[in-house]
Amino acid sequence: MSYVEASETSLRKTGQIKLHGPSGFAGMRKAGALTARCLDELADLVKPGLLTSKIDDFVREFAFSHDAYPATLMYRGYRYSTCTSINHVVCHGMPGDRTLKEGDIVNVDVTLIVDGWYGDSSRMYPVGPIARKAERLIEVTYEAMMRGIAAVRPGATTGDIGYAIQSFVEPQSMSVVRDFCGHGLGRMFHDEPNIIHIGRPGEGVPLRPGMFFTIEPMINIGKPHVKILSDGWTAVTRDRSLSAQFEHSVGVTQTGVEIFTLSPRKLDKPPYGG
């Protein structure tokens, strides 16, 4: 796979990996910060009795009131400003008339476009007190993401990221979903390269300074297999086991990695606020 300076290519997927300079990092910091702030404010909203449609309303109104746009809204026909994935829903859960109840766990995935840059992040929210197995799943999933991020540096590979995640998760008797992956982003929602959450050290795409992408492992308590429901979007575990996901947008720097979507209130790390 080849690389190209982002300033020298069009805003479309070309099969090349775009390398961004200082202005790109500045744009991603602004977009990532607003996305993280939106997710922070959702922490005060997610409680038993809340309709998932109200989460979607909040994200849409938050975006518009901050001169941003929700990237998922009308993306490939998707009619919502966020994804709300509850319990055994792996990803792309559609907001609606589902009411959150005590003991649920829900992932909220938000991507905000700010001045043309995409800030993409998701977090898990416990709904009231939750079972210890659900807490453990959330803890393992967060740690898996952070281990993947810690593997990012110039000269490393996408396989190093996947290996860092897989080698941590599987000894916990949990599984890594294979059907979905992280992705390049910047001034596009989905770009090169794909970031697979399993892998072998040294394999895959070499990382270079200026690459932007997401790391967003989906971890199941049961087996890794998923299926897509008839709505064409919602992915669930085939064995109906609990699933969790965390996601950050990151950039490869000259010496390591920068996370663009860190929580201002430190609410993205379980136990929340710790």
Domain encompassing residue 100: 2-7+20-259
Question: Do residues 244 and 169 make contact, with C-beta atoms less than 8 angstroms apart?
Answer: no
- What the block records as the tokens of 33 is 């910060």
Residue 51 DSSP class:
B
Residue 272 in domain:
no
Residue 274 in domain:
no
Split the chain (274 residues) into runs of 10 and give each run's mean pLDDT.
87 90 98 98 97 98 98 96 98 97 98 98 97 97 98 98 98 97 97 97 98 98 98 97 98 98 93 58
What is the edge-to-edge ordering of all strands in the sheet holding 191-195?
191-195, 182-184, 212-215, 248-252, 257-259
Residue 176 in domain:
yes
**Which residues are documented as binding site for a divalent metal cation?**
109, 120, 183, 216, 247
**Which residues are documented as binding site for substrate?**
92, 190
Give me the half-sphere count of Cα atoms (radius 13 Å) on the Cβ side of residue 260.
31
Residue 208 in domain:
yes
Residue 265 in domain:
no
Instruction: For residues 70 and 79, give the distance between their C-alpha atoms in angstroms, rounded to a whole number.
Output: 11
CA max distance for the chain: 51
Question: Do residues 210 and 17 make contact, with C-beta atoms less than 8 angstroms apart?
Answer: no
Task: Domain count for the chain, please give it.
Answer: 1
Tell me how long the chain is: 274
CA angle 207, 214, 201 (to 5 degrees): 40
Query: Looking at residue 229, what is its pLDDT?
Result: 97
Strands 218-220 and 89-91: unpaired
CA distances from 246 to 68, 107, 121, 194 (A): 22, 8, 7, 16
**Which residues are documented as binding site?**
92, 109, 120, 183, 190, 216, 247
Query: Looking at residue 274, what is its pLDDT?
Result: 42
Residue 267 in domain:
no
Residue 268 in domain:
no
Long-range contacts of 228-237 (CB under 8 A, 24+ apart): 231/94, 233/78, 233/92, 233/93, 233/94, 234/85, 234/89, 234/92, 234/93, 234/94, 235/89, 235/90, 235/91, 235/92, 235/179, 235/180, 236/88, 236/89, 236/90, 237/88, 237/90
Residue 92 in domain:
yes
* Phi, psi of 236, rounded to the nearest 5 degrees: -125, 160
- What the block records as the tokens of 91 is 């990803």
User: What is the domain-level CATH number for residue 57?
Assistant: 3.90.230.10
- What the block records as the tokens of 203 is 């394999």
Identify any residues that bridge with 106 across adjacent strands, giving them in sequence order. Answer: 86, 125
Give me the half-sphere count of Cα atoms (radius 13 Å) on the Cβ side of residue 122.
29
- What the block records as the tokens of 251 is 């950039």
Query: Looking at residue 272, what is its pLDDT?
Result: 63
